[in-house]
Chain A
Amino acid sequence: DGGITQSPKYLFRKEGQNVTLSCEQNLNHDAMYWYRQDPGQGLRLIYYSQIVNDFQKGDIAEGYSVSREKKESFPLTVTSAQKNPTAFYLCASSKGMRTDTQYFGPGTRLTVL
C-alpha cells in the first residue's frame, strides 16, 4: 500500500539537543511538506520541497532544517535554536502544489524535557 510514514511516533529530547524526524513516502509525489501543529493554531508550514535537492522556507522555518536528497525522503531536524519545539509534527506529500490533495503521515509528537 502506498502512503507516508513518519518515525518515531513519540520523541523526547533534552534541551540543547538536535533531533531528526523521519518522513518517507512511496506515492511517487514530487512535493513534500513539514507542518507544526499546536493546540488551537491549526497547521503552520515549516518547510516545503517541490523537487529533489530543492526546498523553501515556510512561515516558521527558524530553528529547523531539512534536506531532500531523495524523492522519497524529507527529514526534518529540530535544532537547539528552536525556542519552543514541543509540538506535533506532520509530514505531507502531494503530486503537485496547488490543486493536488496533500497526503499526511501519522505525525511525530516531540516533547522537550
Chain B
Amino acid sequence: AQSVTQLDSQVPVFEEAPVELRCNYSSSVSVYLFWYVQYPNQGLQLLLKYLSGSTLVKGINGFEAEFNKSQTSFHLRKPSVHISDTAEYFCAVSQVADYGQNFVFGPGTRLSVLP
C-alpha cells in the first residue's frame, strides 16, 4: 500500500515571498500524484496533477510542482504568494493499478500568508 507524508503541518510565510510545501510518498509501483487546496469550511479543489510526461507540472493560481522519482517527492511551489493563498494543501497519490481504489491523501499543510 502507498502512503503520503507532508513534512510540515504549518507553514507561515510573508506575502510576496516564495513558498515550498513538501510531499513525499512511498509506493512499490508507479504512481499518479495530485495537489489539492482546501479553503476554510469548503471542499477540496484540484491544483495540479502528474500522470506522466514532463516532471514539472503547472497548475492553477501560479502553483507548480516537480515530480522526483528518485527522491519519491512531489513538492509544491509558488514564487510569490498572496494573502488569498492562505488555505490547507493536501498531497495525494494514486497507484497505477488496474483494480480497486487506492487514492491516499496526506495529512495536509496549513499555509498562512502574513501581510
Contact = CB atoms under 8 A, between A and B. Distances in A.
A40 interface: yes
Contacts of A48: 101
Interface residues of A, number: 26
B43 A104 contact: yes
Contact of A105 (B9, B36, B43, B51): B43
Interface in B35-88: 36, 41-46, 49, 51
Given A56-B101, A97-B101, A107 B41 contact: yes
A33 B107 CA distance: 18
Contacts of A101: 34, 46, 49
A8 B45 CA distance: 20
A104 B45 contact: yes
Contact of A42 (B32, B49, B107): B107
Q: How many of chain B's residues touch chain A, expressed as a range?
A: 20 to 34
A98 B32 contact: yes
Contacts of B106: 42
B115 to A, nearest CB: 25
Contacts of A105: 43
Interface string A101-112: 111111101000
A45 B32 CA distance: 18
A104 B101 contact: no
A10 B95 CA distance: 34
A84 interface: no
A103 B9 CA distance: 24
Interface of B: 9, 32, 34, 36, 41-46, 49, 51, 90, 94-97, 100-103, 105-108
24 contacts: A4-B43, A33-B101, A40-B107, A42-B106, A42-B107, A42-B108, A43-B44, A43-B105, A50-B101, A90-B44, A92-B44, A97-B94, A97-B100, A97-B101, A98-B95, A98-B96, A99-B94, A102-B46, A104-B36, A104-B44, A104-B45, A106-B42, A107-B41, A107-B42
